[in-house]
């Protein structure tokens, strides 16, 4: 590790022990302003979650102390969509956002009544979800891997994913449609797309590779390949949501 990287690595460890703004309403307010600019796209305007988890619950996967929150915001969560902000905005601004998050009163969307085991059964049978989604070692790969989805997303986002898949597409899973010079069009989720080639996966799990020169057109549109599940009966929907929330990357 270079010297600067060591310093970057050590600074937050040394400083992270105590929140200098703990309980300070003015600093929390400044934190809210920053939050609305930087974090809203994933955590929602009031931090109740969206593509990123709900931050108003007071319990966090990555640790519950102020210094845990500091660490997550400063360094991000490697291997997830949670970016690191420390180098860009500095320690004080990270603490301001920690103070803001702490100041939030708990307004949790209570999980619906239901049975996650029944949701699991529905997922693999009647729901047909396993055709496109992997959980653990099972399932198809055209859609995103859901092994840790309950850890990453809020209940509200999961509900919306089912009923309105186009509302907030998972990056990297856009639809690509290729029109060959002869023969029918073929559509699938994007695997790779550059100036010369396109690679996509069709619902049957097959990967197709195309040379731009050899086809009439390749189009990418911001549409989900997932069918909308608008007509699930409420019990099936609740069971399914509870199952998705239970997927946290453990025991799957
Ligand atoms: C591109 C989307 C995205 C943006 C932008 C984003 N986050 Fe996150 N954030 C996530 C995801 C996804 C996770 C869950 C990571 C995981 O799986 O542990 C997360 C996790 C967190 C956690 C830990 C939650 C827990 O339960 O441990 C905190 C705190 C957090 N984010 C705060 C912020 C703050 C503050 C900002 C803005 C400065 C921000 N995030 C911006 C996507 C995002
Ligand atoms: C024909 C394939 C297909 C089927 C069947 C399918 N999905 Fe999807 N799903 C996708 C694709 C592709 C995406 C990514 C694009 C998007 O965000 O909608 C996705 C996205 C999702 C997401 C959002 C993931 C994220 O990263 O936020 C969830 C949750 C989800 N699906 C759950 C389900 C459940 C539950 C079922 C069964 C009731 C199901 N899907 C059935 C293809 C499918």
> pLDDT tens, 191-201?
988 888 999 99
Domain 116-169+227-246 in CATH: superfamily? Cytochrome c-like domain (1.10.760.10)
Q: Give 194-219 as a 3 state SS string.
A: CCCEEEEECCCCCEEEEEHHHEEEEE
Q: Which ligand is nearest to the CA of 127?
A: 2
Q: Which of 121, 133, 245 to mutate to test the pocket of ligand 2 (most atoms within 8 A of CB)?
A: 133
Same fold: 3-103 with 116-169+227-246: yes
> pLDDT tens, 141-182?
999 999 999 888 888 889 989 999 998 888 889 999 999 998
The answer, as to whether pTM is greater than 0.85, is no
Say if domain 3-103 classifies as CATH 1.10.760.10.
yes
Tokens at 112, concatenated: 């619906």
> pLDDT tens, 9-35?
555 555 446 899 988 989 999 999 999
DSSP state of 186: E
Domain at 175-221: CATH code: 2.30.30
Q: Which of 54, 134, 143 to mutate to test the pocket of ligand 2 (most atoms within 8 A of CB)?
A: 143
Q: Mean pLDDT for the chain?
A: 88
Alpha helices in the chain (DSSP H): 3-15, 25-38, 40-43, 66-75, 86-103, 116-124, 149-152, 155-163, 234-246
**Structure confidence at residue 59 (pLDDT):** 77
Q: Where are the domains of the chain?
A: 3-103, 116-169+227-246, 175-221
Distance in angstroms between the alpha carbons of the first and the last residue of the chain: 35
């Amino acid at each position: 590790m270079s010297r600067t990287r060591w310093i970057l690595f050590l600074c937050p460890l040394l400083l992270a022990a105590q929140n200098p703004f703990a309980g300070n309403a003015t600093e929390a307010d400044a934190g809210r302003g920053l939050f609305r600019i930087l974090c809203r796209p994933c955590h929602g305007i009031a931090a109740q979650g969206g593509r990123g988890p709900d931050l108003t619950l007071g319990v966090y996967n990555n640790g519950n102390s102020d210094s845990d929150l500091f660490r997550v915001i400063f360094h991000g969560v490697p291997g997830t969509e949670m970016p690191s902000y420390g180098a860009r905005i500095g320690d004080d601004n990270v603490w301001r956002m920690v103070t803001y998050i702490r100041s939030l009163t708990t307004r949790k969307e209570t999980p619906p009544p239901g049975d996650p085991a029944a949701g699991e059964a529905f997922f693999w049978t009647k729901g047909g979800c396993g055709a496109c989604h992997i959980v653990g070692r099972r399932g198809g790969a055209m859609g995103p891997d859901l092994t840790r989805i309950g850890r990453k997303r809020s209940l509200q986002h999961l509900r919306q994913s089912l009923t309105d898949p186009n509302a907030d597409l998972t990056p990297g899973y856009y639809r690509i449609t290729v029109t060959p010079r002869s023969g029918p069009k073929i559509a699938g989720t994007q695997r790779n797309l550059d100036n010369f080639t396109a690679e996509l996966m069709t619902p049957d799990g097959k990967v197709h590779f195309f040379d731009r020169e050899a086809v009439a057109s390749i189009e990418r549109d911001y549409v989900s390949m997932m069918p909308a599940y608008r007509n699930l009966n409420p019990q099936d929907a609740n069971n399914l949501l509870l199952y998705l929330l239970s997927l946290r990357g453990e025991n799957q």
